[in-house]
Amino acid sequence: MPQRLTLADALHHAREALAGGEAVVSVAVLSSDEDGPAAGERMSVWANRHEGTLGDVNLDEAALRIARTALGESDRPETHDVEAAGRRCTVYVEPHRAPPELVIVGAGHVARPLCRTGAMLGFRVTVLDDRPEFATRERFPEADEVRPARFDDPFRDVRIGRGTYLVLVTRGHKYDFEALRDVLHRPELPAYVGMIGSRRRTRAALEQLARDGVPDERLRRVHAPIGLHLGGETPEEIALAIAAEIVMVRRGGTGQPLRDRERVAERWVRSGG
């Protein structure tokens, strides 16, 4: 039988996950029937292991299935009724994972509202620029990090992994291109990489990268020109279009208007109200 897990241990596991470690789900008993586990029994569940027990191997197996489903699908805490081998309990299930990373390369007019929006959406935001007067905490108070950078080596000391959402909005297309080339040659691609620019410049950049040997499947991962088509013109509107596309990619949306997707008005009119 696994050893009991203390509250201190469970909090330690959650803190490790939130600091960038492996995602974990906390499971704790809220209530149970007479033969069930005591309130407060708990488990920490990772993708391939767990610690703690609810006091019964059958309940543990049922709770593990629930926790691993939450690990892959949910960010929100939930309660679940668990029943196994005639025992019942209600458990509190809470996923813990590091916030997604939004890395903005370029600290110009679009970057400022995008930083604010990214922070509001729960991203850990890093802003990079090679101009000290632009890469300042005063311009980006919502950012977790504001770093000076060299665009010939833009991601030095910056972690870019499969959980990163990368936005290239520098002051010059050549800097965006250099950063894009850097990231496309890495073994692990970000969850999202978007580059600002016109259709003509985007096509020229992708053609050059293809000549440099970047595979087609990697080029197809690039969102360029960046953002959803909202018709925006101001920096704030452009930032909103970029943030909307990032949410679409992260959550598996389509970008289709819900009016067209659900067709409520059409069906209501057709049915005569």
Tens digit of each residue's pLDDT (9 = 90 or more) over 210-265: 998 999 999 999 999 999 999 999 999 999 999 999 999 998 999 988 888 777 66
The span from the CA of 63 to the CA of 210, in Å, is: 48
181 and 195 Cβ atoms separated by less than 8 Å: no
Res 270: pLDDT: 65
The letter for the amino acid at 87 is R
Instruction: Provide the pLDDT for residue 166.
Output: 97
Look at the chain and count its residues. 273
- Mean residue pLDDT of the chain comes to 90
Crossing angle, helix 235-251 and helix 111-120, to 10 degrees? 40
pLDDT above 70 (res 1): no
Give the span between the Cα atoms of 94 and 102, in whole angstroms.
24
| SS3 category, 272 | coil
Ordered strands of the 222-223 beta sheet? 145-148, 124-129, 101-105, 164-168, 192-195, 222-223
pLDDT at 5 over 70: yes
Reduce the DSSP state of residue 63 to 3 states and report it.
Answer: helix
- Weakest-pLDDT range from 25-29, 202-206, 237-241: 202-206
The answer to whether 119 touches 92, Cβ cutoff 8 Å, is no
193 burial type by CB count under 10 A (0-12 exposed, 13-18 middle, 19+ buried): buried
Q: What is the mean pLDDT of residues 13-25?
A: 91
- The pLDDT tens digits for 143-200 are 999 998 888 888 888 888 888 999 999 988 888 999 999 999 998 999 999 999 888 8
- Checking if the pLDDT of 128 tops 70, the result is yes
pLDDT at 267: 67
Residue 122 near residue 100 (C-beta atoms within 8 A): yes
Give the whole-angstrom CA distance, residue 155 versus residue 163. 15
Give the 3-state secondary structure of residue 127: strand
Could you count the other beta carbons within 10 Å of the beta carbon of residue 207? 11
Closest CA to 46 of 16, 76, 19: 16
Q: Which amino acid is at 43?
A: M
Question: 117-150: b or e for each residue (b if 16 or more CB lie within 10 Å)?
Answer: bbbebebbbbbbbbeeebbbeebbeebbebbebe
Q: Which helix (H) or strand (E) holds 102?
A: strand 101-105
CB-based contacts of 93, cutoff 8 Å, min separation 6: 25, 26, 27, 66, 67, 70, 77, 78, 79, 80
